Amino acid sequence: MRELVAIAVVALLTTAHLVEAGEIPPAERRSGTTFMAPDTKAMQDDDTSNPGMLWVMEAESLWAKKDGAENKSCADCHGDARDSMKGVAARYPAFDRTLGRPVDLEQAINLSRVRHQRASPLADESRELLALEAFIAEQSRGMPITAGSDPQLEPFIEKGHELFTNREGQLNLSCANCHDDNWDKRLAGSAITQGQPSGYPLYRLEWQSLGSLQRRLRGCITGVRAQAFDFGSPEMVELELYLMTRAAGMLIESPAVRP
Amino acid sequence: MAPAALINVPAKARRGDVIEIKALTSHIMETGYRRTAAGEIVPRDIITSFICRFNGAEVFRADFFPAIAANPYLSFFMVANDSGKFDFEWTGDHGFGATASASISVVE
Helix (H, G, I), strand (E, B) or coil at B26: coil
Checking if the pLDDT of A251 tops 60, the result is: yes
Interface test with A, best of B24, B30, B31, B76 (most A CBs within 10 A): B24
List C-alpha distances in Å: A11 to A1, A3, A5. 15, 12, 10
pTM as predicted: 0.89
CATH of domain A30-45+144-258: 1.10.760.10
Among the ranges given (A14-28, A96-110, B85-99), the one the predictor scored with the smallest mean pLDDT: A14-28
* Percentage of chain A lying above the pLDDT 70 cut: 92
CATH 1.10.760.10 is right for the domain spanning A52-138: yes
For B20-47, how does the pLDDT look when each residue is reduced to its tens digit (9 = 90+)? 999 999 999 999 999 999 999 999 999 9
Element (H, E) at A248: none
Structural domains in chain B (count): 1
User: Which structural domain range is residue B21 located in?
Assistant: 5-33+42-107
Please say whether the beta carbons of B34 and B49 come within 8 A.
no
The backbone region for A188, taken as left when phi is positive above 0, alpha when psi lies in -120 to 50, beta otherwise, is: left
Where in chain A are all domains bearing CATH 1.10.760.10? 30-45+144-258, 52-138
Q: Which of A176, A241, A191, A175 is nearest to A18 (CA)?
A: A176
- The pLDDT score that the predictor gives to residue B108 is 86
Helix A213-223 with A234-246: angle, nearest 10 deg: 100
Per residue in A5-52, pLDDT (tens digit) is 555 544 444 444 444 447 899 999 999 999 999 999 999 999 999 999
For residue A4, pLDDT over 80 is answered with no
| Residues A131, B25: C-beta atoms closer than 8 Å | no
Write out pLDDT tens, residues B1-19.
467 899 999 999 999 999 9
Report how far residue B87's alpha carbon sits from residue B103's, in angstroms, rounded to the nearest whole number. 9
Weakest mean pLDDT among A20-34, A102-116, A171-185 = A20-34
Q: Taking CB atoms and an 8 Å limit, are B1 and A47 in contact across chains?
A: no
Helix (H, G, I), strand (E, B) or coil at A96: strand
Strands (E), B11-54: 12-14, 18-25, 47-54
Is residue A209 within a helix (H) or strand (E), and if so which, with residue range? strand A209-211
CATH number at residue B103: 2.60.40.10
C-alpha dist (Å) from residue A202 to A6, A105, A236, A253, B46: 50, 14, 17, 9, 23
B8:A46 CB<8 A: yes
Q: What angle do CA A84, A85, A91 make, to 5 degrees?
A: 125
Q: Is A61 on the interface with B (CB under 8 A)?
A: yes
* Rounded CA separation B7/B5 (Å): 6
